[in-house]
Amino acid sequence: MSAEEMREEQSRGADPGAGTDSGAPQGQRGFRGMLVGRLVEKDVERGTFSVEVDAVPRVWKNNQASSPRSLRGTKVTAGGVSGKLLDVLLLCKTGETLEFGARDDGAHQLTVVEMLRKVAPVKPGDYPELPDGFRGFRGMLQGRVIKKDPETLELVIEVTAVGQTFAENEAKQPQAIIGQKVILAGFWQRREAFQNASAETLIEFGAEHPNRQTDHLTVIESVRQLPQ
């Protein structure tokens, strides 16, 4: 769980139904998670900016929006940028891509939380979506590491096999994930395992998908390298 999720567990924030006449996209109401989009305009002095959303890579457990994916292709405005994050906004040019944590409090704009960084333009496959039949999975997987993100402690993995499923598994078609890419997060307490995973290595790992609205998995159990 991220720091923002932990804070939101203690305080759920504003009513997601508030501010529905603000003109904001419907999928924004009660949104909690990460967005990626191309910068449309910015006001560094006010700490605000607008992006055209290209991806919704993560939806936090405390999200209250009913359709977070509907934000893709829409223009959203975000504010509350301060401190070191202002430097990121200052250096980012119109048309470049930003990734940021966002929280909707019922106002006309989102509040930036936890992260704001410049990233590469979104290409097909950068933010893989889980098959519907795999959602709710809990068990063991095997896969090849495609890339790693040291800042977010996330791995992109191409799944090669599905192992044991645990009693809590709710996925109806676990095998649907074979051959697909997944984003594996949750290495904050498993930093050594993250550091040992390098591109092209084969690993076996436990994973769960407790939040049906997000497309990332959370690592559980052990992580071990497999023979090439």
Question: Per-residue pLDDT tens for 112-144?
Answer: 998 999 999 999 989 999 999 999 999 999 999
Question: Per-residue pLDDT tens for 141-157?
Answer: 999 999 999 999 999 99
Q: Give mean pLDDT, residues 198-203.
A: 92
pLDDT value at residue 107: 86
What percent of the chain stands above pLDDT 90? 79
pLDDT value at residue 130: 96
One-letter-per-residue 3-state SS of 131-196 = CHHHCCCEEEEEEEEEEEECCCCEEEEEEEEEEEECCCCCCCCHHHHCCCEEEEECHHHCHHHHHH
Question: Per-residue pLDDT tens for 29-40?
Answer: 999 999 999 999
Average pLDDT, the chain: 89
pLDDT value at residue 27: 79
Considering the domain 132-222, what is its CATH architecture?
Beta Barrel (2.40)
pTM comes to: 0.84
The domain locations on the chain are: 3-119, 132-222
pLDDT value at residue 228: 78
196-227 exposure pattern, b = at least 16 Cβ within 10 A, e = fewer: ebeeeebbbbbbbbebebbbbbbbbbebeeee
Considering the domain 3-119, what is its CATH architecture?
Beta Barrel (2.40)
> Are residues 159 and 141 in contact, defined by beta-carbon separation less than 8 angstroms?
yes
Q: Residues 6 or more apart from 228 whose CB is under 8 A from it?
A: 201, 202
